[in-house]
Amino acid sequence: MIRRASALACVAVAAALGLAACGGGDDNNDTTAAATPPATTSGGGGGGGGGGATIDFSTPSGSELAYNQKSASTTAGTDTISFDNVQAQEHDVRIEDSSGAEVGGTELVASGTATATVDLQAGTYTFFCSVPGHREAGMEGTLTVK
Ligand SMILES: [Cu+2]
């Protein structure tokens, strides 16, 4: 059962990274791990190797104060936050570390997308919306950086 749990975690990380490689089995070589540049990134070139991952966030249609993501994971390095807010009200995605210090995030955006780059080290962070009341209403989640 431990093996199953770690396999799930591995799948989650692999999905976030767009990679197919996971320890313990090389039977799925058909998925290429090409580093395709994210189409929504407007600046801040990504260096290959460690970091340079894109973390996608979005909001549900309507007016619910929530992200579609309850949690997210990525790799350490200079990562891109890509936020797609389909709602007419403004939101953003801010990141703070485990001590509560903000390390970066997007600007406020309504009915559109915003991106930002953040330097992340391995650890546990929290992502949240900085509009007063939104975080308390549920616009927050855990970002795991490995
Ligand atoms: Cu918000």
Contact criterion met (CB below 8 Å) for 84 and 71: no
Residue 120 alpha carbon to ligand 1 centre in Å: 22
Residue 40 alpha carbon to ligand 1 centre in Å: 21
Residue 38 alpha carbon to ligand 1 centre in Å: 24
Q: So what's the pLDDT on residue 15? A: 44
Q: Which residue bears the tokens 């949690």?
A: 71
pTM, two decimal places = 0.67
- Pull the structure tokens for residue 96: 């703070």
Residue 134 alpha carbon to ligand 1 centre in Å: 5
Nearest by Cα to 49 from 77, 24, 26? 77
Residue 31 alpha carbon to ligand 1 centre in Å: 36
**What is the pLDDT tens value at each position of the chain, 146 positions in all?**
445 544 444 444 444 444 444 444 444 444 444 444 444 433 444 444 455 999 999 999 999 999 999 999 999 999 999 999 999 999 999 999 999 999 999 999 999 999 999 999 999 999 999 999 999 999 999 999 99
